[in-house]
Amino acid sequence: MKQIMTAAMAAMTVLSLTACGGSGNSGGAASSGVEDSAAAGGEGKTLRVAMECAYAPYNWTQPDDKNGAVPIAGSNEFAYGYDVMMAKKICEELGYELEIVRLDWDSLIPALQSGQADCVIAGQSITSDRLQAVDFSEPYYYASIVTLVKEGSKYENAASVADLAGATCTSQQSTIWYQNCLPQIENADILAATASAPDMLMSLNTGKCDLVVTDQPTGKGALVAYPNFKMLEFGGGDKDFQVSDEDINIGISMKKGNTELKTAIDSILSKMTKDDFSKMMDEAISVQPLAN
């Protein structure tokens, strides 16, 4: 659940489009969405799905195809995680081949605009700001906000956001965690945002900060990689971080106006339940590599 982009960032994204190169046919991808065609029953078509491949348990990079991982375009590495599992399901249902495009977080939306990718499946929150730049599917996951601290921390028994007062904290750049949640901590010493989720977790593990704020799947995954972490959940009420539905509804983004691809993806997601999403996420967490 990452990730709100401010209006200013959205505007910068739009303005930067002419400077973004794309490996695909931007004209064809813009109108149809899947390698020049998004016709139902896309035999012989390839769905280019962009993600960071560095955001476990949503997505990560690994050296082989273990557990059904998918090759990353232009590399000898493979991607897996919840987002890859979802991408595979969508492609199987639609009859598409799947191509994973690895990009850094801030390049994901520009990649849609330039035609470098057909859709982004990367734990993006469906925010109003982001909707100015791209279209979104129905949610493919619903996430809640959690706080991670190290065992033995003076904040390990915190029962509310108020109990985090004065903490040194950080989170990943361009996320609702960093932009919306951290400022809600009274007298917080908010460090510069980290470039990625692994960097965020490393900041906590090395003692650069007292706590980080993230979403529940990332928190659960972190507990596997860092057994010395403790995850705090404040129940979603008045004692918790105050967020909106748009902050915790996670969707698949695509170029604006690509209604054919949106309709096709929504037809698959509409058949799935929150329990289906949770079961798939738990599976991803159970096989994630400790290094991600």
Q: Quote the CA–CA distance of 65 and 169 in Å, as a whole number.
A: 36
Q: Quote the CA–CA distance of 51 and 33 in Å, as a whole number.
A: 16
Could you tell me if residue 240 is inside a domain?
no
Domain-terminating residue out of 212, 235, 258: 235
The amino acid at residue 139 is P
- Find the angle CA(76)-CA(61)-CA(288) to the nearest 5 degrees: 140
Q: Quote the CA–CA distance of 47 and 87 in Å, as a whole number.
A: 9
Q: Looking at the structure, do residues 149 and 129 belong to the same domain, yes or no? A: no
Could you tell me if residue 201 is inside a domain?
yes
Q: 134: which strand partners?
A: 255
Q: Looking at the structure, do residues 11 and 122 belong to the same domain, yes or no? A: yes
Query: Which token pair is 189?
Result: 């010493």
Q: Looking at the structure, do residues 136 and 274 belong to the same domain, yes or no? A: yes
Q: So what's the pLDDT on residue 8?
A: 36
Q: So what's the pLDDT on residue 234?
A: 96
Q: So what's the pLDDT on residue 11?
A: 35
pTM given for the model: 0.74
CA distance readout (Å), 214 to 41, 87, 171, 178, 196: 38, 23, 7, 9, 12
pLDDT in tens, 198-254: 999 999 999 999 999 999 989 998 998 899 999 999 998 999 999 888 788 999 999
The parent domain of residue 42 ranges over 7-142+247-287
pLDDT in tens, 172-201: 998 889 999 999 999 999 999 999 889 999
Q: So what's the pLDDT on residue 32?
A: 42
The DSSP code sequence of 40-77 is SS-TT-EEEEEE-S-BTTTBEEESS-GGG-EEBTTSS-
The amino acid at residue 214 is T
Q: Looking at the structure, do residues 216 and 196 belong to the same domain, yes or no? A: yes
Query: Which token pair is 221?
Result: 């995954």
Which residue stretches of the chain have pLDDT < 50?
3-32, 36-42
Q: Looking at the structure, do residues 12 and 48 belong to the same domain, yes or no? A: yes
Q: Quote the CA–CA distance of 31 and 199 in Å, as a whole number.
A: 37
Count the residues in the chain: 292
Q: So what's the pLDDT on residue 33?
A: 53
Q: So what's the pLDDT on residue 181?
A: 96
Q: So what's the pLDDT on residue 80?
A: 98
State how many domains the chain has: 2
Q: So what's the pLDDT on residue 29?
A: 35
Question: Residue 128 sits in a domain of what CATH number?
Answer: 3.40.190.10
Q: So what's the pLDDT on residue 5?
A: 38
Q: Quote the CA–CA distance of 14 and 18 in Å, as a whole number.
A: 9
Could you tell me if residue 292 is inside a domain?
no
Q: Looking at the structure, do residues 85 and 228 belong to the same domain, yes or no? A: no
